[in-house]
Amino acid sequence: MTGPKPISRELARERGLLRYFTGKPCKHGHVAERLLSNRECVVCAKLRDVQWLITPKGKAYQRQYRETPKMRNYHREYSRKRYLEKKAANQSVRESCETEDRLRVLKPKEILQLLRAEVTKAGGQEAWAKKAGIDRALVNKVIHQKRPVSRNMMKALGLRVVVVKD
Ligand SMILES: [Zn+2]
């Protein structure tokens, strides 16, 4: 059997406790501590409370309790706290997205993919080269990986070369 160590009602009273424990089930079969005051099992007491709370009287009591200044204040503080937490969470997500947008590190392969996509969008190598003011032959060589992407091309792609300290 699990549960607290049995302590008689008399001993519990001597020690100034509010509960005692017999280890024997109550009339409803709960093996639980009993209240010193009325010998009621704590599970039965809890159930009685819960059942009372859903009666009209209990509901009225709950309503009244919620309207006390202390509880009103508590609810106001709670929803304010939740609101600020949510706001802060949204803010940090937005900030990290913005930073990632601006500071995305691209691999050479990704730069090439970006170039190919832009060239396709422009309607061909010649069209893109003309638009970007870059020699068409160079664009062709870069696309076929015979030459590295030039700085001017990066600029035309909206990229910036950044040197990062190790
Ligand atoms: Zn009980």
User: 45 and 22 in one domain?
Assistant: yes
Q: How far is the CA of 57 from the centre of ligand 1 (A)?
A: 23
- Looking at residue 10, its pLDDT comes to 96
Q: Give the CA count within 13 Å in the CB-facing half-sphere of 20.
A: 17
User: 113 and 91 in one domain?
Assistant: no
- Looking at residue 2, its pLDDT comes to 56
85 within some domain: yes
Q: How far is the CA of 40 from the centre of ligand 1 (A)?
A: 7
Q: How far is the CA of 70 from the centre of ligand 1 (A)?
A: 33
User: 44 and 22 in one domain?
Assistant: yes
132 within some domain: yes
Q: How far is the CA of 20 from the centre of ligand 1 (A)?
A: 14
Q: How far is the CA of 97 from the centre of ligand 1 (A)?
A: 56
Among 60, 56, 14, 12, smallest CA distance to 36 is for: 12
Q: How far is the CA of 45 from the centre of ligand 1 (A)?
A: 7
78 within some domain: yes
- The whole domain housing 86 covers 68-102
User: Using CA atoms, how far apart are residues 141 and 137, in angstroms rounded to an integer?
Assistant: 6
Q: How far is the CA of 7 from the centre of ligand 1 (A)?
A: 17
User: 42 and 77 in one domain?
Assistant: no
User: Using CA atoms, how far apart are residues 30 and 105, in angstroms rounded to an integer?
Assistant: 64
User: 76 and 45 in one domain?
Assistant: no
Number of domains in the chain: 3
User: 112 and 91 in one domain?
Assistant: no
**Helix boundaries (H) for 15-135:** 42-53, 56-66, 69-102, 108-122, 125-132
Give the pLDDT band (50/70/90) at residue 92.
Answer: confident
61 within some domain: no
Give the pLDDT band (50/70/90) at residue 3.
Answer: low
142 three-class SS? helix
User: Using CA atoms, how far apart are residues 100 and 152, in angstroms rounded to an integer?
Assistant: 23
Give the pLDDT band (50/70/90) at residue 162.
Answer: confident
28 within some domain: yes
Q: Please, which residues bridge with residue 20 across strands? A: 34
- Looking at residue 114, its pLDDT comes to 80
State the pTM of this model: 0.42
165 within some domain: no
Q: How far is the CA of 23 from the centre of ligand 1 (A)?
A: 12
pLDDT (mean) for 68-94: 93
- Looking at residue 109, its pLDDT comes to 80
User: 35 and 16 in one domain?
Assistant: yes
Q: How far is the CA of 10 from the centre of ligand 1 (A)?
A: 20
User: 94 and 126 in one domain?
Assistant: no
User: 36 and 15 in one domain?
Assistant: yes
164 within some domain: no
Residues whose CB is under 5 A from ligand 1 (ion)?
26, 28, 30, 41, 43-44
At 113-159, the pLDDT tens digits run 887 888 888 888 888 889 888 888 888 888 888 988 888 888 887 87
